[in-house]
Amino acid sequence: MKVVIMLGGTAVIRTPVVFVHGAWLHALSWESWTARFASHGYRTHAPGWPGEAATAREARERPDLVPALGLQGLTEHHAELVRSFDVPPVIVGHSVGGLIAQHLVGVGLGQAAVAIAPTPVNEVALHGCWSAAGADEPAGAAVLLSPERFRESFGNAVSNEEAERLYDRYVVPVPRRLLDDLGCGGGPRHPSALAGTGNAARGPLLLVSGQEDLLVPDRVTRAVYKQYGDSAAMTDLKQFADRGHSLVIDSGWRSVADHVLGWLDERGVRPVVPGR
């Protein structure tokens, strides 16, 4: 898909950005980001996961309608979207979306990727993501964080009032199958939880962590960053002090988004490219 616009009589193509949300959050979690990036000239896309309800509240009211989606299906869903553009998009992912962003850029999809508080790739371990749910739902069930668990695991760096607002607008159930694929239940991770860290031909990658993140601790993201140490491809790490796993949706989201915008500019990624 391609959108050509005219600027000063010159045809240009707006660079697409695909935002991939993570577990327990609705696609609306990117609403501020899409507006911010669009105001800078990017063409933004924040697709929901397959079968995702129109709002978070609807999803919470009918958890029985959540598809038994696994990591492979979720990755392929976003890969198909990324391939649909004439201009390779920027891929920005949070949490599980950050893992998917790394996987896709690692196989040569997209021109750049940003992984924010990403679920780790390859052999880097992530402990406690299943226990964050605080429940033992049967296999195949959708797992919903309680408001208290969300406050503890996502919103530990914001006020109780803000955590309540974020929960109401953005939190959704997540398929247990996906959590199992990520190794949250203690079993092996699915092969889709891999990234081509040695691919020297891939586009630039930015890893972002919150230093108060309890769900994907900063040390985990730093361990992933070290995996890219032998690659000639560009990989950067940005750490945000006093930020938790909610850093893309809470009141400090703009500082993270603006850092990403600045990083893209430094890496030569522009909001528009000459028309073809």
Is residue 243 assigned to a domain? yes
Paired tokens of 241: 């002090």
End-to-end C-alpha distance for the chain, whole angstroms: 13
Q: What is the pLDDT of residues 76-111, one digit of tens each?
A: 999 999 999 999 999 999 999 999 999 999 999 999
pLDDT reported for residue 127: 65
Comparing 2-11, 65-74, 165-174, 178-187, the range with the smallest average pLDDT is: 2-11
pLDDT reported for residue 148: 94
Mean pLDDT confidence for 143-172? 96
Is residue 107 assigned to a domain? yes
Contact residues for 243 (Cβ-Cβ < 8 A; gap 6+): 157, 210, 211, 212, 213, 252, 256
* Boundaries of domain holding 174: 4-266
Is residue 273 assigned to a domain? no
- Is the pLDDT score of 138 beyond 70? no
Mean pLDDT confidence for 161-172? 98
Is residue 159 assigned to a domain? yes
Looking up tokens 């703009």, which residue turns up?
254
Tally of domains within the chain: 1
pLDDT reported for residue 6: 47
Is residue 91 assigned to a domain? yes
Mean pLDDT confidence for 196-222? 95
Tell me the C-alpha distance between 68 and 14, whole Å.
Answer: 35
CB–CB of 210/247 below 8 Å? yes
Strand order, beta sheet including 235-240:
43-45, 16-20, 90-94, 112-116, 205-210, 235-240
Q: How confident is the model at residue 273 (pLDDT cuts 50, 70, 90)?
A: confident
pLDDT reported for residue 10: 59
Give the number of other CB atoms < 10 A from CB of residue 34.
20
pLDDT reported for residue 120: 92
Mean pLDDT confidence for 193-219? 94
- Is the pLDDT score of 183 beyond 90? no
Highest mean pLDDT among 126-130, 258-262, 271-275: 258-262
CB–CB of 25/32 below 8 Å? no
Q: How confident is the model at residue 271 (pLDDT cuts 50, 70, 90)?
A: very high
Q: What is the pLDDT of residues 115-136, one digit of tens each?
A: 999 999 988 887 666 566 554 4
Q: Which CATH number covers residue 29?
A: 3.40.50.1820
Mean pLDDT rounded to a whole number for the chain: 90
pLDDT reported for residue 276: 55
Is residue 152 assigned to a domain? yes
- Is the pLDDT score of 140 beyond 60? no
DSSP class of residue 92? Answer: E
Is residue 271 assigned to a domain? no
Is residue 274 assigned to a domain? no
